[in-house]
Amino acid sequence: MSELERQRWLAGLALAAAVPLPITGIATWPFVLPYMLMAGWLLTRSRLVAAVPAWLENILAPLVLVAVVMAGGLQYGVLRPVAHLAVLVATIRLPGCASPRRTRRTLVITAIIAIAGIASSTHPSLLVYLLAVLALGTVAAGRETLLGLRTAELPLAPRLAWPPARLVAATVVLAVLVAAPLFAMLPRLRSPFAGTAIGSGGTSGFRSDVTLHGIGSIKVSQEVALTARFAGVTAPPREWLRLEGATLNHYRAGGWVEGRNVEPLPLPSLGEAVPLWPGTQPAGLQRVEITVEKPGTNLFLPPGSVSLEPPLAVEVSRTPMGVLRIRRGTPVPFSYAVSFDPRRVLAMPPEASDLEVPRRVRERVTPLVEDVVVGATDPLAAARAIEQHLQTEYTYSLRTMASLREDPVIWFLFRGRQGHCEFFASAMAMMLRIEGIPARLQVGFSGGELQGDGSFVVRESRAHAWVLAWVGGQWQVFDPTPLEGQPSVAQEGWRPRIPWSWDDVDAAWNRWVLTFTLFDQAEMLRTVVTWIGANTRPVGMAAVAVAGLTLLVIATWRRRPSSRSAPGSERPRGTDPVVRALEKVLAQAQRRGLEVDSSFSPQAFGRLAAAAFPVAREAVAWLVEAHERRRYAGGPSPGRRELRRNLAVALKGMQQASARQVDIQQLGAGR
């Protein structure tokens, strides 16, 4: 490959590697733009571009480091500064990349940039991007290989040195077919891509614990989580659709968990409604039927739930916080009904942990709380002031950049000043606790889409977080998220439900790629094993049938006329048992190191084999003689038993010894 062409290829690969960077935000535009401009310029140049002089590189090197530090350094994790550094270094090093000395280093830096971009991507188009890069890489590798074969003795016009499109397409298709099961089977030890502390993206949807660290964008999933139908009410108030899934009161290291490891207690199965709270009045209760569509471990309850009609054949247990849980892997859909008092919010009484605030948060946030609640005369007013402050002074955003080195609540309140509902709710909970008001974080779903039959569809995108605060001797709900970030009740749109619409694709991508976990692997394996176990007989019969059919196809395929063969090179196949026996002996001799020329006659081979494997001499001689007698003298086939015995002796004799190197000339073997 000429240096000019190599320069263009490297520039093209550098541009391709840069595509995800501005989209994911892993590298900011001030860093990405010069890199893309440099790569684009090199791509279009018609002559080689010399490398940046070493003295200039020495001047730029510390400036690069300064730029990376000023862009945030390690406070957003490792990925961003690495991406920034790689992009800047690549910008400086791309000129002169075509020289053999610099090509490899340029490829390494480009690969680092590409991996940083890929690792921070959450959009389904990542798959398309990867396939395109795969195809581009295949073309580049093929072209480099073909041009590398050129010599003065082996001329090859550059226009002919392109891998065929069919080969590239076949490579990509086959790679995808192999990659799909590999992706499912590769071992996973950590939480999935979405929601990890070092992860760079998240997926919206209910989760029973909350982690605030992270960088990237939250993806909004349109998957249906559940449906709800209120008995006798077609237009319920919005608050009825605030369905609690989990109540969290322990704030640890930037995240909320429900509590210490306490096993949930199973609810008694009474065959009828189970009371959830003692002493509740039956008057004024409303009833809702909820159908869970998405697998999970939580049941969702409207505020003031007093009794539960459990789902059939589903074991329900209850945590100390009052959260209802079901066994993981419970088949969906299933339905249950809840009676609730919409005038009340029922939860476990406050406890000491409802006032816990990390020391650093308390130190930092207390002055803010004092400023916000100044003038509040009672806890309710203070809570409303905090709620209002957060709703008006902060911006709702799905884009998160919570630092690893800083508490996310502190980051949200004082630096980021933007975030999603979990940030708002967490901040309010901390501020309330600092003010001495017990507070908890609740997560669940809020709002839904009214269907024509009066039911409400609740999608994953309506997952929400709000605050329970103990004010005035009772629990009250506060929602500090700005209105634009609060899920609402919407009328069913006329939008037709198109199968495999983009929402379905996006949801499937989120579910089966981004958030694929070790649990999912175990579930798949369990499902397969269960299915096989339940269908052993038909599966066994099907497996035998498939195996038999496969063998038949293979045997038929092998017996077909050979593919285009050279003129005059057709080889007759041996069908005679003596011939087949000799073929086996020949193969064994070759495996044991005897070099047999294809032009040797059976006699020549026999002499050679006898000399090389003395132990098998007599047996080989017998086989050769039997073959010649049959072929040339028209003699009968030898007895099957005798044939097998000699064959076994010959093979075993060769098996036990390596071939002695025999000079064919000394044997005077004829051809």
Partner 1 sequence: MSTGLRTTSFDQAFPGFSLRPAPALWVFLVAMPLLGVAALNTGNNALYLLVSLLLGVFAASGVLSRHTLKHLRVALQPMGDVFAGSPVRLRLWVGNGSAWLPATGVLCRLVGMPGRVLVPLVGPRGECTTTLTTMFGRRGMHRLPAVQVEVRLPLGFFVKTVRWPQDRDVLVYPRRVAGGLARWLSLSDREEYRRHGGRERGGDVDQLREFRTGDDRRDIHWKQTARQQRPIVVERRERRRPSRYLVLDRQLPRRDDALLAERFESLVSEIASAALAELQRGHHVGLVVGSSVTPPAAGSTQTRLVLGQLALVRAVGPGDDPLPPAIQGESVYRLVEGRR
- State which residue, 390 or 514, has the beta carbon closest to partner 1: 514
Query: For residues 342-381, which are near partner 1 according to CB under 8 A?
Result: none
Instruction: Give the per-residue contact string, 200-219, with partner 1 (x = CB under 8 A; - = no).
Output: x-------------------
Using CB under 8 A, which of 67, 74, 161, 376 touches partner 1? 161
**Sheet of 439-446, strand order:** 242-248, 439-446, 463-471, 474-478
> Do 38 and 15 contact (CB within 8 A), yes or no?
no
Using CB under 8 A, which of 189, 235, 374, 555 touches partner 1? 189
Using CB under 8 A, which of 28, 75, 99, 191 touches partner 1? 191
Minimum Å distance from CB 502 to partner 1?
19
Query: For residues 521-580, which are near partner 1 according to CB under 8 A?
Result: 558, 562-569, 571-574, 579
CA distance 209 to 193: 16
Which phi and psi (to 5°) does residue 105 adopt?
-65, -35
If you search the block for the tokens 């590239």, which residue do you land on?
168
Query: Nearest Cα to 461, choosing from 289, 218, 243?
Result: 218
**C-beta atoms surrounding 307 within 10 Å:** 18
- State which residue, 107 or 615, has the beta carbon closest to partner 1: 107
- State which residue, 102 or 188, has the beta carbon closest to partner 1: 188
Amino acid identity, residue 255? G
If you search the block for the tokens 């901390």, which residue do you land on?
430
- State which residue, 112 or 290, has the beta carbon closest to partner 1: 112
Minimum Å distance from CB 311 to partner 1?
31
- State which residue, 216 or 487, has the beta carbon closest to partner 1: 216
What b/e string do you get for 140-176 counting C-beta neighbours within 10 Å, with b at 16 or more?
Answer: bebbeebbeeeeeeeeeeeeebebeeeebeebbeebe
Evaluate the omega torsion of the peptide bond into residue 333 and state whether it is cis, within 30 degrees of 0. yes
Count, residues near partner 1 per rule CB under 8 A:
89
Query: For residues 487-516, which are near partner 1 according to CB under 8 A?
Result: 513-516
Using CB under 8 A, which of 15, 179, 348, 489 touches partner 1? 179
- State which residue, 505 or 545, has the beta carbon closest to partner 1: 505
Minimum Å distance from CB 486 to partner 1?
30
- State which residue, 169 or 534, has the beta carbon closest to partner 1: 169
- State which residue, 363 or 583, has the beta carbon closest to partner 1: 583
Over the Cα atoms of the chain, what is R_g? 37
Using CB under 8 A, which of 63, 186, 543, 544 touches partner 1? 186
* 365 contacts: CB under 8 Å, gap ≥ 6: 357, 409, 410, 413, 430, 431, 434
Per-residue tokens: 356:
């816990």
- State which residue, 125 or 658, has the beta carbon closest to partner 1: 125
Instruction: Give the per-residue contact string, 623-652, with partner 1 (x = CB under 8 A; - = no).
Output: ----x---x---------------------
- Largest interatomic CA distance in the chain: 121
- Measured in Å, how far apart are the chain's first and last C-alpha atoms? 47
- State which residue, 405 or 573, has the beta carbon closest to partner 1: 573
Query: For residues 116-135, which are near partner 1 according to CB under 8 A?
Result: 118-122, 126-127, 130-131, 134
CA distance 230 to 632: 95
367: burial class by Cβ within 10 Å (0-12, 13-18, 19+)? exposed
Using CB under 8 A, which of 60, 74, 136, 146 touches partner 1? 146
Minimum Å distance from CB 191 to partner 1?
5
154 is a contact residue toward partner 1 (CB under 8 A): yes
CA distance 307 to 288: 11
Find the part of the chain contacting partner 1 (CB under 8 A) among 150-158, 207-215, 263-271, 351-359: 150-158
- State which residue, 155 or 496, has the beta carbon closest to partner 1: 155
> Do 324 and 311 contact (CB within 8 A), yes or no?
no
141 is a contact residue toward partner 1 (CB under 8 A): yes
Find the part of the chain contacting partner 1 (CB under 8 A) among 111-119, 274-282, 347-355, 461-469: 111-119
CA distance 304 to 338: 10
9 is a contact residue toward partner 1 (CB under 8 A): no
Amino acid identity, residue 667? L
**CA 149 to centroid of chain Cα atoms:** 39
